[in-house]
Amino acid sequence: MKIAWSVRLACDADVPGLEKLIPLSVRALQAPYYSTAQMDGALGFVFGVDRQLIRDGTYFVVEHECELIGCGGWSKRKTLFGSDHETGRDDTELNPTCAAARIRAFFIHPNWARRGLGHAILDACEKAILDAGFRSAELVATLAGEPFYAAFNYSAIECYDIPLANGLGLPVVRMIKNFVPNQFPQSTAGRR
Ligand SMILES: CC(C)(COP(=O)(O)OP(=O)(O)OC[C@H]1O[C@@H](n2cnc3c(N)ncnc32)[C@H](O)[C@@H]1OP(=O)(O)O)[C@@H](O)C(=O)NCCC(=O)NCCS
């Protein structure tokens, strides 16, 4: 039997639910890829709520029986990853004709992994990105997220470590997808 859930835009009232969901998702689904110390160092900074996305109306949640079981979004701004508390944010708006939109902050509740929630949120993001006039999308994937994005034709273009406040590094993969055939992806190498 299919259990009902739905994707909707996030609002400020969702923040407490998101703050509960994100660590649950990270600690369970990233455990095969990162150490506890790496997850400790990334939570709250690299992984956390970005209220700018909620204000922009570009962040989605999946709800089931009044509980948040998934989230993820996109951005028309330069920042590639991170919560409100991440240093080095750049909220400058991107020009859709020559820059890639950002895919941002996907977190699924561990009890709901591999049930299509991430796919449904990504579909909603890509539709909104195209409606906003962008021709490509870029993201920084965790090692847990890389196979998911690869399944939807995002290509890895760079591997690097995000430096964490506790001195460790978090290996990540920059990925890009071009929505317009035969056009070189609009990469933004070196920018956040
Ligand atoms: C990555 C994540 C968002 C995927 O969400 P999800 O709802 O489980 O993904 P879906 O069920 O929509 O998966 C769709 C397809 O993606 C691929 N996929 C998803 N997770 C995968 C994994 N762990 N390994 C291999 N392929 C995977 C599969 O092709 C899958 O289709 P299938 O289940 O029919 O084989 C989720 O695992 C997550 O929240 N991880 C922890 C937080 C995180 O690291 N987020 C990424 C931030 S960049």
**Is 116's C-beta closer than 6 angstroms to any atom of ligand 1?**
yes
The predicted pLDDT at position 136 comes to 97
For the CA of 120, the closest atom of ligand 1 is 12
Q: What is the reported pLDDT for 87?
A: 77
Instruction: Name residue 140's beta-bridge partners.
Output: 174
Q: pLDDT value at position 189?
A: 47
Residue 113 CA, closest ligand 1 atom number: 8
Assess whether the C-beta atom of 118 lies below 6 angstroms from ligand 1: yes
Domain boundaries, the chain: 6-178
Q: What is the pLDDT of residue 183?
A: 57
Domain 6-178 part of CATH 3.40.630.30: yes
Q: pLDDT value at position 88?
A: 80
* pLDDT per residue rounded down to tens, the chain (192 residues): 667 899 999 999 999 999 999 999 999 999 999 999 999 999 999 999 999 999 999 999 999 999 999 999 999 999 999 999 887 889 999 999 999 999 999 999 999 999 999 999 999 999 999 999 999 999 999 999 999 999 999 999 999 999 999 999 999 999 999 998 755 555 554 444
Q: Give me the DSSP letters along 37-101.
A: HHHHHHBTTTBS--HHHHHHT-EEEEEETTEEEEEEEEESBS--S--TT-TT---PBP-TTTSPE
Q: Is 29 in the pocket of ligand 1 (CB under 6 A)?
A: yes
